Amino acid sequence: RELKCVKCKEGQPVVVIRAGDAFCRDCFRAFYVHKFRAVLGKNRLIFPGEKVLLAWSGGPSSSSMVWQVLEGLSRDSAKRLRFVPGVVYVDEGAACGRSPADRAHTVAEMRLLLQAVGFPWHVVTLEEVFSLPPSVLRCFPQEPVGAVGTYKVAVDSYLQQQHALGPERAGGSPIPAQEGERAGQPCSHDPRGLAGPQPAAQTEALSQLFGSVKTLTAKEELLHTLRTHLILHVARTHGYSKVMTGDSCTRLAIKLMTSLALGRGAFLAWDTGFSDERHGDVVVVRPMRDHTLKEVAFYNRLFAVPSVLAPAMDTRAPEKASIHRLMEGFLLRLQVQFPSTVSTVYRTSEKLVKAPRDGRATGPRCLLCLCALDIDASDSATAFGAQTLDFSQTQPPTPRAEAGSPTEVGSAQDCCQGAGPCRRDDPRARVMEQLCYSCRANMKDVPSFDLLPPYILAEAQLRSQSRASQDIQECLVEDS
């Protein structure tokens, strides 16, 4: 029988998402836009006038996200978005082994699109992680954006302000961009207008770091970590309180299964949920989480959404080259045979609850992923305890420890129970003891920690010194 649009019952269907779901062009657009607006309206995390940084990789999902925001801010939009957007693009070419000419070509294409969009934009390179401050690895308290009342009260107050400014101002942008952040212009973070040639030393250091990592799985995790730190720094530097990423439903389902395989089961609610509050003052939101990759591809094709595709780290890699690639192939093959596979995995992630429920865990945090540190005793019957015990056994015992001689309270031998050199003097041990289980497993594939960006080593040393000072104070209190 002849297919008809499931919404209007008249239009000739041009999009068939799955059996029984066929849409004409106009109805599909309304369906797609409603999904995006609904997920933002349901969660009510972005208040009117708030600065939101859009993380644009140039891929299909993030490009579609930027275009949804662009259309939502237009005067013709029925329900306009009321936040102040900015865009950030991270050039990862050095980590992927791309030539300077290819990188320059990709950045030039992104610059043209950023200028066409008209939002304030920031183009940074991954090499800039070598100049980040250690404070990027610290959690700061979140400013009470909605302290004046509930979300509805904040919206009403904003509408009254817009009405007082007059119809011309109310029909324009939500809030004037700050000085140096004019629409369609590069922001002060990069005065040259785009990411120019980085110092050869930083590019070489980044290439050496990723070249030394043994497995593709560890490389992809390290790349994701450094990219997150860089985007977080850009957001804090320019006053953005929210960061939007273009993670789709399909991508989040793959990420959930990958995170389970990597030992990040305790952090799935943060890694795949709509909001991620682990950083405190900057919250990561995922408004594209209800859209599948198939829907994104249809929308981008039908409505000419531009994108810039660049080779990634796993481009042309075999399926078994990394856990990420293996899980992606596994789920996508199941999706072909059982069309509800991705949605089932995705709906499972929606049921995960953060502990505590506000997502702001107290206590020590992992040095890299900034999640709550899942500390465990070295002699416990858990994977983390076994890993800690295995690491401590690799340290050769000192002659003094073998002889069974007593150690002084607060000495280096006492802090490590006499098992080899003091860990506070060993950079690798100092970093490893401040990592969660998953990050610790990945960092085992990094032969030398001396190649890591300085801000990671500096923050590890500061945390170690702070803990040593607390231990000494506790010993003095006990002795007194």
Q: What is the rounded CA–CA span in Å between residue 291 and residue 251?
A: 10
Query: Which residues have C-beta within 8 Å of that of residue 95, sequence separation ≥ 6?
Result: 126, 206, 207, 210, 219, 223, 226, 313
Identify whether the C-beta of residue 97 lies closer than 8 Å to the C-beta of residue 311.
no
Phi-psi group of 425: left, alpha or beta (phi > 0 → left; psi -120 to 50 → alpha; rest → beta)? alpha
Q: What is the rounded CA–CA span in Å between residue 227 and residue 206?
A: 13
Residue 389, pLDDT score: 55
List average pLDDT for each run of 10 residues in the chain, which is 480 residues long. Answer: 74 73 87 92 88 95 96 79 94 92 94 93 95 92 58 71 62 47 56 56 94 95 96 96 95 95 91 91 94 94 93 90 95 92 88 65 84 65 56 49 43 46 71 93 94 94 86 72
Q: What is the rounded CA–CA span in Å between residue 151 and residue 156?
A: 9
Q: What is the rounded CA–CA span in Å between residue 325 and residue 70?
A: 32
| HSE, side-chain direction, 13 A CA sphere, residue 376 | 15
Query: Which residues have C-beta within 8 Å of that of residue 180, sequence separation ≥ 6?
Result: 187, 188
Name the CATH superfamily for 15-142+197-350: HUPs (3.40.50.620)
Query: Which residues have C-beta within 8 Å of that of residue 470, sequence separation ≥ 6?
Result: none
CA dihedral 272, 278, 281, 286 (to 10 degrees): 0
| HSE, side-chain direction, 13 A CA sphere, residue 57 | 17
| HSE, side-chain direction, 13 A CA sphere, residue 396 | 2
For the chain, the C-alpha Rg in angstroms (whole number) is 25
Identify whether the C-beta of residue 429 lies closer than 8 Å to the C-beta of residue 463.
no
| Domain range list for the chain | 15-142+197-350
Identify whether the C-beta of residue 139 lies closer than 8 Å to the C-beta of residue 280.
yes
Residue 181, pLDDT score: 55
Q: What is the rounded CA–CA span in Å between residue 136 and residue 79?
A: 36
Q: What is the rounded CA–CA span in Å between residue 305 and residue 102?
A: 23
Residue 179, pLDDT score: 42
Tokens in use for 333? 């093959």
Model confidence, pTM:
0.84
